Structure 1
Amino acid sequence: MRASILYSTVGAVGGFIATVFGGWSDALVTLMIFMSVDYVTGLIVAGIFKKSKKSESGALESRAGFKGLCRKGVALLIVLVAVRLDIVMQTTYIKDAVIIAFIANEAISIIENAGLMGIPVPSIIAKAIDVLKKNSDEKMAG
């Protein structure tokens, strides 16, 4: 009985969030995945490699981690603003352009984290990020 209440509550909250964000588009899912990967790789850079650029010592610091989560939360709020602008303006491109821009930023950060760990990043990834940035700029231009 308790499990069904929990599942129903989680489903209702998830449904509400999906509705507010204009649905779970592939772009939004990708952004959420990239945000998670960036956060985890940032934790690894700081916690294991002690090479974080977010703290003085380069080591894991709770304040830096909290700031990172706050930044990601505000990015999602900006996506929410873009969704509402699309609704008011009866368009569909503002949300997509904003999400693509944030995906590009997250991808750049993931690559930087990989570099700090000494992991070589294939050039095709850098090219894909350039395409994302270009697509985002084109969508915002018109």
Structure 2
Amino acid sequence: MLTLPFCNTSLAFDQRVRKGRRFFNEKGSFVGDNLLHQWFFLNLLGGWDVWLASLMSLMATDIIVGIIKSLLCRSDKSESGALNAASMFRGGVKKILILVVIALATLLDEVIIPGSTNIRSVTAGYYIANEALSVIENIGACGVPLPKVFFRVVDSLKKDEYG
């Protein structure tokens, strides 16, 4: 019996494994009881690997740091400078669209070279870098001191993107 330290719930982890229900397969991909969840992560997004785990973690971090930024300092997303539901909705839609692009990259991998993950890995790497830069930019906007190299990288990427 596995007891979680942060709640009063106990999971019969050893019983689930003995009954043939596994949480991870041989490749380390998550296998859940919910078929839609399993289909979504294992097939559509190419499996739960270090690329997808990193991307999802950075997406969550970006959302949290964005909320902190809007609470600590004046946001440029609204007239009042406060937390804006519309901009949060747009950000959430963008995150979902990033996952759609990852799904398309996975599909392209399967069509071009079955069993390959090259296009998906490059696509995920691009969005991982993009999310990491967004986190760094938001942390810097909150007034947290960062090494100057972070500011140079963010500034050079902004110039490439917008000008």
Structure (1 or 2) with the greater helix fraction: 1
For structure 1, the residue ranges without an aligned partner over 5 or more in a row are: 1-7, 134-142
Runs of 4+ with deviation above 6 angstroms: none
Pair 1:111 & 2:136 matched: yes
1:41 is matched by which residue type in structure 2?
A: V
Give the fraction of aligned pairs with identical amino acids, expressed as a percent: 34
Equivalent-residue separation in structure 1 for 2:102 and 2:58 (angstroms): 15
For structure 2, the residue ranges without an aligned partner over 5 or more in a row are: 1-20, 22-31, 158-163
- Shift in Å, 1:57: 2.8
1:75 to 74, 95, 98: 98
Counterpart residue number, 2:6:
none
Counterpart residue number, 1:11:
33
2:39 alignment partner, SS class: helix
Pair 1:95 & 2:115 matched: no
Equivalent-residue separation in structure 1 for 2:118 and 2:147 (angstroms): 30
- Shift in Å, 1:120: 1.8
1:11 alignment partner, SS class: coil
Aligned-residue Cα RMSD (Å) equals 2.6
- Shift in Å, 1:106: 0.5
- Shift in Å, 1:31: 0.2
- Shift in Å, 1:122: 4.1
For residues 102-121 of structure 1, the C-alpha deviation after alignment (integer angstroms, 9 at most, x for no partner) is 01110111011101111123
TM-score by length of 1: 0.75
* Change in CA separation of 1:122 and 1:16 when aligned onto 2, cut-off 3 Å: farther
